[in-house]
Structures are given as C-alpha cells and as structure tokens.
Amino acid sequence: MTWDCIVVGGGAAGLSAGLVLGRARRRTLIIDKGEPSNRFAHGIGGLLGQDGRAPQDFYADGLAELAKYPSVEHRRGEVTGGAPGFSLTLADGTTETARSIVLATGMDYVYPDVPGVAERWGKTAFHCPFCHGWEVQDRPLFVLDPTEFGPDRAKLLSAWSDDVTLLTAHPLELRDDEIVLADGTTHPCGGLLIGVRLSQRSGLAALLGVEAREPNPMFEDGLAIDERFGTTVPGVFAAGDLTGTPPSVASAVASGSMAAAMAVHALVLAN
C-alpha cells in the first residue's frame, strides 16, 4: 500500500501533523524512534494549556488522541534511508512508500561536555530561559557562552535573577546547588544556561534531496522551507526544530499542524 503521507518523527511536530492528517482522512503512517528532545526535562514550560506538564504525559495524550482516527497508524521505528518518489527504509529492513512526506525528526542539541550537565539537562542545566527560567528564578545563575553572544545571553537571563555570572571558560563541574569553576573555586549555583548548537539527527533529509539553510549561530543545518512548509523537494514538508526556527513545543505543534494542512492541500489538489 502507498500511504498518502508518512510523518517521520512523532514528537510535538509529528504528532500534531498526524492529528491534522487523520482528521482529513488521509492514510497516514507516523514512524517514531521515541526520543523527543525534551524527554529529559522536568516539565514543558510555556505551552498554553499544558504549562509545566511532564513531557511523557503530553506525548501519551497526543497518541491517545491520534488513536481515534482510523486512517492513522503510529509505529515505533527508525527511518534509516529514503529515496525520491517516495520510498523510506526502516531500521528493521522494511520499506514503506508514500505520496508525500512530513519530516519532523527534531534536532540534536549539542552542548559542551561538562561533568554534571547531562544529568541535569532540562532541569538546572538548560539552553532556554523561557522554558526553565521560571523554575530557577532569583537564584544565583551562570551562563556558559564563550561566543560573542555571551553578554546578551547573560543580560537576557537577568530577567529571572539579579545574580547572573557569565562564564567564558568551561566550568569543571555542575553539582546540585553549586558549580566548580575553571579556577577550582566553588560557588552557589541554582542554574546554568548553556549556548547550544542544533544539527540534523541524520542524513535523511539530504537523501531525499532536501536542502538546508546556511548555518547561523544556533542552527548548523536547519531545513529550508517556504511559507507553505514545503521543502526544496515537492511533496516533502517539514515541521518543528529541524526547520531551524526558534525551538519550542508551541512552535513545533503549530508548524506540524500547518505542514500537515499543506500536505493535505497538495494531495487533494493533485487528484
């Protein structure tokens, strides 16, 4: 069977796309590896109606909503290959074909390898003050950003605390409630804001012939999309972090919805 649409990735953008495709009665397959970028976070900060909700609960509710739509299948898996036309290969060796694709695979958030950060990522170590600043407000906060953007990042964080220190050298360790700086001194620390770089999680878009934008300070290779969420390849749409728009669950939900609506337009008008 050829699907009307395959959605690759079932995070906020992919599930939102699947919902719109299902409500439009399109035969839709969502293939998801199940590793949304915010899975480490204590909660989703700043999403209307879901503020502070545990990400796992949010995705579970999204899946439950999708289950109401019989034309949508959600499958746990990883797409490892793709060819124009469109044919996708999964890690289990199976192949699926579709008339259109929505790419929603998110991005890798690359942060410096500082001991203690990985365990606290999405909690007291974070890249986005709008997501996590509220939870650490009025505590002593640190910003790790050796680039020219460090001073602006530190200024922004002052919206959440009067006690903000910019670090241009990597600290030795982040611990609960304190940080060990490069000079060996230990200081009280309620949160560490880290400048990150986002890059594609795989070469799938490139295999499909989809072009990326020029790198910018935050995004290495966000996909180029037009105002209809179409990529440089007709029939391939994209939504969420991988398009290089400022990352948030709200914008991923919105762009997934719009990309799916545009895919439905294209499918129906092509008949």
Ligand X SMILES: Cc1cc2nc3c(=O)[nH]c(=O)nc-3n(C[C@H](O)[C@H](O)[C@H](O)COP(=O)(O)OP(=O)(O)OC[C@H]3O[C@@H](n4cnc5c(N)ncnc54)[C@H](O)[C@@H]3O)c2cc1C
Comparing CB distances to ligand X, the nearer of 130 and 181 is 130
Residues 6+ away with beta carbon under 8 Å from 10 = 18, 30, 31, 32, 34, 59, 63, 74, 104
Residues engaged in binding ligand X (CB under 6 A): 8-14, 31-38, 40-41, 44-47, 78-79, 104-106, 109, 121-122, 128, 131, 201-202, 204, 240-241, 247-250, 252
Phi, psi (deg, nearest 5) at residue 229: 65, 15
Comparing CB distances to ligand X, the nearer of 223 and 267 is 223
Comparing CB distances to ligand X, the nearer of 146 and 246 is 246
Comparing CB distances to ligand X, the nearer of 137 and 181 is 137
Shortest Cβ distance from residue 142 to ligand X (Å)?
17
Shortest Cβ distance from residue 212 to ligand X (Å)?
15
| Residue (of 18, 16, 73, 4) closest to 270 by Cα position | 4
Shortest Cβ distance from residue 218 to ligand X (Å)?
12
Shortest Cβ distance from residue 222 to ligand X (Å)?
11
Kindly report the number of other CB atoms within 10 A of residue 149's CB atom. Answer: 14
Q: Which two tokens stand for residue 113?
A: 């390898």
Whether omega before 237 lies within 30 degrees of 0, making that bond cis, reads: no
Shortest Cβ distance from residue 59 to ligand X (Å)?
8
Comparing CB distances to ligand X, the nearer of 60 and 169 is 60
Helix, strand, coil content of the chain in percent (nearest 5): 30, 30, 45
